[in-house]
Each structure stands twice: as C-alpha cells, then as structure tokens.
Structure 1
Amino acid sequence: MIRLLTLIAIALSLAGCGLRPLYSGGSTGSVGSLLSSVEVAPIEGRAGYLVGDALRDRLAANGGAPRYRLDVRLDDSIVGLGVRSDESIARERRTLRARYQLVDLATGQTLVDDTAGSDAGIDVVRSEYAVIAAEQTALERLSVVIADQITARLALFADRTAKTP
C-alpha cells in the first residue's frame, strides 16, 4: 500500500512540474511546422556544405514554399596546442563557430540571431595522412553538433512564439 501511495505521489508531482514534449503535435505542431518551412541558404566552404547538409536532414522541408530562410556564416579554425621536445606540434584544437539568422521571407525581419559552436581535440601523430583524416573527421563531427544546436534553438523559438498571443 505504501508503494502504491508513493507511486501516486510521484506521478502527481511530475504532472504538476510543467514539463511537456517540445515536439508535441509531430510535424503539424508549432515546432514541426516551423522547422519544416525553413530553407537553408547556401553556406561557403567544405564546413558549410557539411553543416548545410546536416541542417537540411534535421529540418526536413515539407516540399511546400518556404516561409523562413536560415542564413549561416561559419568560422573554422585549427590551432596547435602542445609542443614536443623537437618543437613539433603534438595536439591541435579544431573550432567551428556559426552565426545564424532566421529570416521571415514575407517581411524580411530577422526572427532569430544567435551563435553556435563547438571544438574538438586532435592528436598530431607522425603520419601526415592520419592527421589530415583526423582533422576531416573532427570537422564532420563538429558540423553535426552545430546543426543540432541550431535546430534545438529554432525549436525553442517556435515553441515560445506559439505560446505568445
């Protein structure tokens, strides 16, 4: 009996905490409909191709006319960190930063203006090929992280604007 009362108390406390699914309503909900009506403007460079591709996968346009445009500018850098006794670099940090803006195509108004970023550490080994491969793999992973951050921020924007009258 005590276990049952405990479970009921926990269930009632969770129901009153205000948590609710962000993507409620699926593709027809406020978040899903906004995300599916965003077109991603072309982004320069290899990093831009990777981020743009990841964003298109996450936004999954519904095939209709887009209502919003996502403009993204990237800053990709690699910095040497550690130095060996022979003064060669032992470790690198690859940093990918994005400034993005969600623009309403009907009015030209910028609705979201924010940044996203992440970095990855790379061990520099004696093989040049291995270092280049590690740098490319880091860029691919960072592109996915950036796309996830942007998508999450746009989802929060859609959720908050759906609540305001």
Structure 2
Amino acid sequence: MRHLALIALLALSACGLKPLYGGGSDGGVAGTLRQVEVATIEGKAGWLVGNALRDRIAADGPALYRLDVRLADSISGLGVRRDDSVSRERRTLRARYQLVRLSDGQTVLDASAGSDAGIDAVQSEYATIAAENTALERLSGIIADKIVSRIALYAQRNPAGAAPTP
C-alpha cells in the first residue's frame, strides 16, 4: 500500500504541477504579493474592491509594484411583470487591472476580471436596494480573488528579478 502512495506521489510531481503558494508566507509568491500597493479605485465599488484587495494582499513592505484597477459596474433588468415593473436584475462588475513595476513604470500584467449576480427585484424598494448592495459586496470579493490569483500566477512565473514572460 505504501508503494502505491509513493508511486502516486512521484507521478504527481512528474506532471509539472507545483503549489502556487509553495513556501507559505516565506515563499516567493507571498513575498511578491506583500510588495504590491493598491492604487485608489473610484466609487463605492472601487472602495469595496480596494479594501478586499488590501485584505488579501496584506502589503507590509516597500512597494515594488502598483496595482491600477478600473471598474465598470452595471445593473440591468431581466424579467418584467405584467405591470411593466422589473422582477429580476443582473448586477455585473468588470475590472480592468494593470500591475505596474515601480522601478521603471513598465506594465508587467494587463488583464481583466468580471463576475455577475442575479437579484430578485421585489415590491419593496428598500429590499431591492439592499439586495443590490449585497450583490456588489459579494462581487467585489470575487473580483479581488480573481485579481490576486492572477498576480500570484504572474509572481510564480516571474520570480523577483526575472524578466517577464511574453
């Protein structure tokens, strides 16, 4: 039985997979994330996404990178009742982000992330607004997770001091 586990472990290591956060908080990826400063993002969605990013990145040293994020937040009606009022909405949050190396101003990562959420538009305007706000909070966390994952992947592929991959 132990031989089977050893063979499985060797096969897994031979496939080229490596843990993204290998080395834990002392690893290269975590070290790179700690050196990313999040630039101010405009608007309520920007405040939420910025806070979520700062929580996940936990910068604690001198910044080597700046993360610039631009958001597009929209709400569109999907379902219509007999009285022509909207019964279902979709909130969409899209982010275009760039990771800029501060030493030379070069953009080393330029990507986008997005997510959307469905919202029931009920007769109570207060309840609908509360649902829209809750959806924005949830979407902000999802966007932040996607951005941090992409930066972590960049950091793994481009250890400190290495030239960016094409």
Find runs of 4+ consecutive structure 1 residues off by over 4 angstroms.
none
Per the alignment, residue 47 of structure 2 pairs with 49
Per the alignment, residue 83 of structure 1 pairs with 80
**What is the letter of the counterpart of residue 42 of structure 1?**
T
Per the alignment, residue 94 of structure 2 pairs with 97
Alpha-carbon offset, residue 162 of structure 1: 2.0
Alpha-carbon offset, residue 65 of structure 1: 1.7
SS of 1:69 mapped into structure 2: strand
Per the alignment, residue 26 of structure 1 pairs with 24
Equivalent of 1:59 in 57, 60, 63: 57
Query: Paired residues, what number?
Result: 162
TM-score (norm 2): 0.91
* CA distance in structure 1 between the partners assigned to 2:29 and 2:21 by the alignment: 6
Identify unmatched segments of 5+ residues in structure 1.
Answer: none
SS of 1:51 mapped into structure 2: helix
**What is the letter of the counterpart of residue 16 of structure 1?**
A
Equivalent of 1:146 in 135, 143, 147: 143
Percent same amino acid at aligned positions?
63
| 2:123 is equivalent to residue 133 of structure 1 | no
Identify unmatched segments of 5+ residues in structure 2.
Answer: none
Q: Deviations over 1:72-95 (max 9, x none)?
A: 000000000011111111100000
TM-score (norm 1): 0.92
**What is the letter of the counterpart of residue 138 of structure 2?**
R
* CA distance in structure 1 between the partners assigned to 2:131 and 2:157 by the alignment: 39
Q: Deviations over 1:11-34 (max 9, x none)?
A: 332232222211112233221111
* CA distance in structure 2 between the partners assigned to 1:11 and 1:28 by the alignment: 24
Q: CA RMSD in A?
A: 1.6
Alpha-carbon offset, residue 6 of structure 1: 3.8
**What is the letter of the counterpart of residue 88 of structure 2?**
R
* CA distance in structure 2 between the partners assigned to 1:124 and 1:97 by the alignment: 22
* CA distance in structure 2 between the partners assigned to 1:48 and 1:38 by the alignment: 17
* CA distance in structure 2 between the partners assigned to 1:56 and 1:8 by the alignment: 40
SS of 2:12 mapped into structure 1: helix
**What is the letter of the counterpart of residue 150 of structure 2?**
R
SS of 1:162 mapped into structure 2: coil
**What is the letter of the counterpart of residue 58 of structure 1?**
R
Shift of the 85–51 alpha-carbon distance from structure 1 to 2, 3 Å rule, reads same
